[in-house]
Amino acid sequence: MLSTDMMRPFQTLYNRTQFLAPQIRKLYKSFHSTEYRFVKEPSTVSTFFDPVTGGILTRRVAESEHTETENEKNPISSKTPGSDYADGLKDDRSYGSVMKGNLGSGSGSRRAGFGVSKKKSKNKTTWVCSDCGYNDGQWWGYCRECKSVGTMNEFTEIDNGGKTSGFQVSENIVRSWLPKGSTGEAGPLRLTDVNRGVNHLEWRFPLPGLFGDEVSRVLGGGLVPGSLVLIGGDPGVGKSTLMLQIAALIAEGENIGKPAPVLYVSGEESVEQIGNRADRMDINTDELFLYSSTDIEDILGKAHGLSLRALIIDSIQTVQLTGVTGSAGGIYQVRECTAALLRFAKKTNVPVFLIGHVTKSGDIAGPRVLEHIVDAVLYMEGEQYSSHRLLRAFKNRFGSTDELGVFEMSPTGLKAITNPSEIFLSEEHSDSEVLAGLAMTVIMDGSRTFVIQIQALCAPGISLSKQVNGVQAGKANLIISVLMKQAGLKLQSSAIFLNVIGGATLNETAGDLAVAAAICSSFLEFPIPSNVAFIGEIGLGGELRMVPKMEKRVGTVAKLGYKKCIVPNLAKKVLQGLDFGELEILGCSNLKDVINNVFVKS
């Protein structure tokens, strides 16, 4: 049996183990019930003599503990052996320690070895569709709103300390831009009360002159007060020239009342450059104000003191709003600037024009939501080597989208064309044996009719090929196949070339008959008289079909002095009883009837 002196060390070790067991269990539970983030802290290693064990121990101490008091640095030297010695063991740093993330701050809450750092605030990332403007918190590969693929772009909303950013625009700031008395809240009104006393014929702003008539036609009859109009087009097509002429017409106030101020704001040109263009176009209106700025707050502040009749922004991609994420032209900037201008237009009843850039594909740059916000979207078109310009409406809340304005670019600006039906016609060579393969037809663009000339060339004995310009390749192949199968023409050994004069494009079926007639004329070497027109669609069986708005098409060729018009039999029955002057309407049922009636010598 062991003596009492021999048992004393074992008894002391047993007592210490029993005391530390609850502390270890408590630390274990705390470690597994709390989320930790470990950050390695710099530390130092020191050695000391333990009088209980009589040995040398190693201790790892964090640098943060060097700021504590001497008693906190070395608790063993200030504590007596016994139960208090456990507190010293709890501070042992031989393998580091962990700390709960929600402990108090200060050096007393720090621990050596691995410490805890607070999570940094992350910037908000949003994925925005470039087509419709839909935004999502994560990337899906496609837009969940418009189902477009590859249109989701990543944007990061930076945390700038509580300032306005991203999608947030303070309504109080916007209200400060608006004129006094325009920010009051209005309640619901009865429809009868809204329309009472309103003369819709005098509600719009009429634009005088031939130029003004063309623009008014596209707008639906005139300019609506408080409307927001977006005008797009390719670079150099004449958007700024168009808007400068419209601004001059509105400022002069003819047929509107007395002259009133119109503000033309450009973010791309200086005031001197705009004035130089106005001088070249012979515009010297006193009430037309020019201003160069890219800050929406500044622009609307200047507009507040002028009592404007209209406001023009050139362009929406160059202006920006302070406090909104991104630079000018970005998705956020374009959307918020347009929304601010929309509120300005609706609350002040001042019409606002926006000029928009276009992308490589021809779409207006910026989010698709831009086109949803505005009241009307006008697009200006023009061929690179042609002086003609077409202004059409793709969206119009106050009129039809079928209208089309036709202009001609001149050194002094845009001029309206009095008879747009003839702009695609070339010189007439009546009954010429050399110019076989020419046929006339009438196409429609919106509510406007255009007479176009189609050329065909059948060249036998060369490499077999088909070249088309202005006609859809699939449509050309269909008509050629029908001519071979149903009309019996031996076109297999000929190369066929098709062209539309004047750079026009044949997109509707009303020109099918003219394409077939031009091919027959070239193949048979039989010129068609220049006073004959062809209107109709061709079916796969060689039959002729009626096309819409036949009365208006036939009336156009009658006004231009044509003597004969070839149409389907059904169209001739519909047009019976209508007066077309000296125009003879000839009805045919199929392609063989057309060949037997047209390609015969009188």
Q: What pLDDT digit, counting tens, does each position of 533-561 carry? A: 999 999 999 999 999 999 999 999 998 88
Among 165-169, 234-238, 280-284, name the one with the lowest average pLDDT: 165-169
Given CA atoms 210, 216, 357, 338 in this order, what sign does their dihedral have?
A: positive
Q: Between residues 202 and 15, which one has the greater pLDDT? A: 202
Q: How far apart are CA 163 and CA 168, in angstroms?
A: 9
Burial class (CB in 10 A: 0-12, 13-18, 19+), 285: middle
The per-residue pLDDT for 64 is: 52
One-letter-per-residue 3-state SS of 255-285: CCCCCCCEEEEECCCCHHHHHHHHHHCCCCC
Q: How far apart are CA 581 and CA 583, in angstroms?
A: 6
Q: How far apart are CA 33 and CA 467, in angstroms?
A: 78
Q: Is the peptide bond before 64 cis (omega within 30 degrees of 0)?
A: no
Mean pLDDT of 258-276: 92
Largest CA distance in the chain: 148
Mean pLDDT of 223-250: 93
Q: What is the secondary structure of 153-206 as a DSSP string?
A: EEEEE---SS---TT---HHHHHHHSPTTSS-------HHHHHTT--HHHHSB-
The per-residue pLDDT for 523 is: 92
Residue-wise pLDDT for 324-358, tens only, equals 877 888 888 888 899 889 989 998 889 999 999 88
The per-residue pLDDT for 477 is: 93
The per-residue pLDDT for 445 is: 84
Among 23-32, 177-186, 264-273, 360-369, name the one with the lowest average pLDDT: 177-186
Mean pLDDT of 471-489: 93
Mean pLDDT of 442-457: 90
- CA 524 → CA 488, 519, 595, distances in Å? 12, 8, 10
Q: How far apart are CA 188 and CA 113, in angstroms?
A: 68
Q: Which of 104, 101, 131, 106 is nearest to 37 (CA)?
A: 101
Q: Between residues 184 and 503, which one has the greater pLDDT? A: 503
Mean pLDDT of 190-205: 79
Burial class (CB in 10 A: 0-12, 13-18, 19+), 76: buried
Residue-wise pLDDT for 353-367, tens only, equals 999 988 777 677 666
> How would residue 38 be classed by pLDDT, with cut points 50, 70 and 90?
very low
pLDDT of residue 86 exceeding 50, the answer is no
Among 120-129, 130-139, 261-270, 439-448, name the one with the lowest average pLDDT: 120-129
Q: How far apart are CA 551 and CA 572, in angstroms?
A: 10
The per-residue pLDDT for 30 is: 58
Averaged pLDDT score across all residues of the chain: 78
The per-residue pLDDT for 96 is: 37
> How would residue 278 be classed by pLDDT, with cut points 50, 70 and 90?
very high
The per-residue pLDDT for 88 is: 41
The per-residue pLDDT for 386 is: 82
> How would residue 310 be classed by pLDDT, with cut points 50, 70 and 90?
very high
The answer to whether the CB of 90 falls within 8 A of the CB of 76 is: no
- CA 299 → CA 166, 270, 314, 325, 533, distances in Å? 21, 15, 12, 19, 55
Q: How far apart are CA 352 and CA 372, in angstroms?
A: 15
The per-residue pLDDT for 136 is: 83
pLDDT of residue 281 exceeding 70, the answer is yes
**Which residues lie below 8 Å from residue 184, measured CB to CB, with a gap of 6+?**
none
Q: Between residues 12 and 572, which one has the greater pLDDT? A: 572
pLDDT of residue 270 exceeding 80, the answer is yes
The per-residue pLDDT for 98 is: 35
pTM of the entire structure? 0.67
The per-residue pLDDT for 141 is: 82
Tokens of 15: 């007592």
Q: How far apart are CA 59 and CA 531, in angstroms?
A: 110
The per-residue pLDDT for 44 is: 64
Q: Between residues 2 and 535, which one has the greater pLDDT? A: 535
